[in-house]
Structure 1
């Protein structure tokens, strides 16, 4: 087992005097809740909801690095629900209303069509979140989102990202040519191809989930764990690279590698990397079925089997 501890705060920061972590977490959670309350009537809230709720989920893992607390799982589920909902809205018939269940409540949301925030990057975030939460039906829904809709967003990305989207879509629904799109995605991450993203971020954050997925498809457990070790080390190196990054909640969890590791773990791969970047309860699906995530179903929270987390 390879142990990779999470990076800490920059040396210039005195945590005891400069940061009140608990208060900061409560503040962003309140902001996310207020945004959610306006989601039916506010276009801005719909645009920002995924980013805000994902920030809450990642920030929860600062104080709960193994995701053992129910509130942490709830935060990840909420981000997953909003990630899925924005694509349900985007693909719904013009003029219609969709009903989505988010945080134990049904919301009546308008069809939006193509929007700047409904783009390839947010699709990948939504897909990763659904993988982590083991939401097979939502993964199937996301796999059916037309790539043309993502291109209509107006957001500017390197071409590799569309190949990566098509790789994941085709894999999930069992279509052919997965390897063709995967090779195109890998080739598109090189310095001669990428034009719209910093090469450091590309090589340390965006590329690793792609090569990790390749190792998953090959089925070699040892090579998969070698690639996972590299992915987590690169993630740590990037997010500890300067003071601003080290303070960002985005660095607390390796989102893409975690999603692929969840896929592999459920397929029987031994996961031989131990790190707060891969929260154990998320990786092991320890809180599975504690929240009914269906769009319309009602379900009460159940008590965990062991301490604060179901095994």
Structure 2
């Protein structure tokens, strides 16, 4: 059966989608400057995200895009932020973070203060937030807040919304008894059918919910949260696809943005059979939608000049290793800008890579030198001296960047000091990336990398939850396990993840959008150290660099 969506105000659709990146940023920062952000502000932010998501669905009803996924996540986080404020403030601490505008707020207990009844959530607000949490798969991290907020909810007459609140609480948390009114509403019937595993009853209840008719003139009304959440729960727990054909139930929201492929019951869809066939048939193309980001001529000249100054010693004095860290950043800016304009590596990019590799190695030769001594390095064919120095700027992040350069160029001379130094020679690594860097170091120094690799794999979700693009841990794990086919599958995934991350909001303008140094470094390392073929073709993997790695060239 087909159910068409209702018509909404076209002007409001245009308004919701127009310049959303900047508008949502202004909105959240305006609220943060105006004082304490309460349930009201977080709900208004969630409403803005929902309106934008509804506007996106008018041109792509399935909502299967990286942009929609990021918007949904922040809509759920903002709505959960309202619930958390009602549940915890001012008696406990909590934190709300939105990836899309890169904005967060932490709340500390205010001892002696009582909860303000004006900041409780209503049944309708709780229900909308919980449905968003179901669809965005965020029930687990926010479950306690929802339970507390329900207990603190003001006494209200029994309404359909309140019945559903208690129904969801019973279904997910076993909180209280399942409501049993004389004439249960379709939402309750659907929840009961889910609990009992009765698909026929569920399909009938979901159809009744949709036939009752979502309504409204705003774009958010195109996404009825209760039916979507119920359909998502049914699909993800029982594998039930909606029996009704309608754009009110966007495929991506129901399936959790599953990739195509045969379904493995209880585990979602397994993309491997399809991807293996694609890779076996020939190179798989991964496009790079990021726009060209050339540097202004004066900026390009300034970066080149400052690099030259950093590697030119004053008469009778050694170079300063700290200045070389800045020079490597300049080369990275130049490399990224030039990579964005070309699908293959140019001579200028090769020069950036080779100089960057030398700069990174030089910094760690200085870090390894005994205090009070000097290290000798060769840069641009010149033998130079560096004073021994260790600085926090030589820490794990810089080590990883320097290592990527060395693995791309394949220079043993540049790789040696990085392996000897390790990622924490100058500073401790307390980030979620630490196990990945340890695994890289273990692999390159000949130690067993698998224990650190397993820890890095466990950190992946934590990294995603904090809004970062995770390191290519899965790709690395296939490299160290010696599985060429799985390496290519993971390479495809890693490049698509990089592309999708930089297609959200205004991230396409990030200087790192055109190239993932980490992924490129592992691809070159696999070619050079194992002789593996790369079956992914992409501007993210300049063919000239892969060919050089395959030939063992620097």
Instruction: Compute the TM-score of the two structures, normalised by the length of structure 1.
Output: 0.76
Q: Does 1:210 align with 2:473?
A: yes
Q: Which has the higher contact order (CA 8 A, sep 6+)?
A: 1
RMSD: 2.9
Match of 1:140 in 2: 416
Shift of 1:43: 6.5
Shift of 1:174: 1.8
Match of 1:247 among 509, 515, 519: 509
User: 1:147-186 to 2 correspondence within 5 Å?
Assistant: 148-151=424-427, 157-158=430-431, 160-175=432-447, 177-186=448-457
Distance 1:44 1:126, change over 3 A: closer
Contact 2:313 2:319 in 1 (8 A): yes
Q: Structure 2 regions of 5+ residues with no counterpart? A: 1-282
Shift of 1:44: 5.5
Distance 1:251 1:32, change over 3 A: farther
Q: Does 1:34 align with 2:309?
A: yes
After superposition, the C-alpha distances for 1:86-132 in whole angstroms (9 at most, x for unaligned) are 1111110001111211122222111002x111111111111111111
User: 1:56-75 to 2 correspondence within 5 Å?
Assistant: 56-67=334-345, 69-75=346-352
Match of 1:54 in 2: 332
In 2: Cα distance, 1:215 partner to 1:171 partner: 12
Match of 2:372 in 1: 95
In 2: Cα distance, 1:250 partner to 1:222 partner: 27
Distance 1:20 1:189, change over 3 A: closer
Contact 2:335 2:349 in 1 (8 A): yes
Q: Structure 1 regions of 5+ residues with no counterpart? A: 292-311
Instruction: Compute the TM-score of the two structures, normalised by the length of structure 2.
Output: 0.44
Match of 1:309 in 2: none
After superposition, the C-alpha distances for 1:162-197 in whole angstroms (9 at most, x for unaligned) are 32232122212222x311111112212332xx5xx8
What is the number of residues matched between the two proteins? Answer: 268
Distance 1:146 1:125, change over 3 A: closer
Is the deviation greater in 71-80 or in 23-32?
Answer: 23-32
Larger Rg: 2
Match of 2:399 in 1: 123
Q: Does 1:201 align with 2:463?
A: no
Shift of 1:35: 3.6
In 2: Cα distance, 1:27 partner to 1:109 partner: 23
Shift of 1:260: 0.8
Contact 1:9 1:246 in 2 (8 A): yes
Match of 1:296 in 2: none
Contact 1:99 1:109 in 2 (8 A): yes
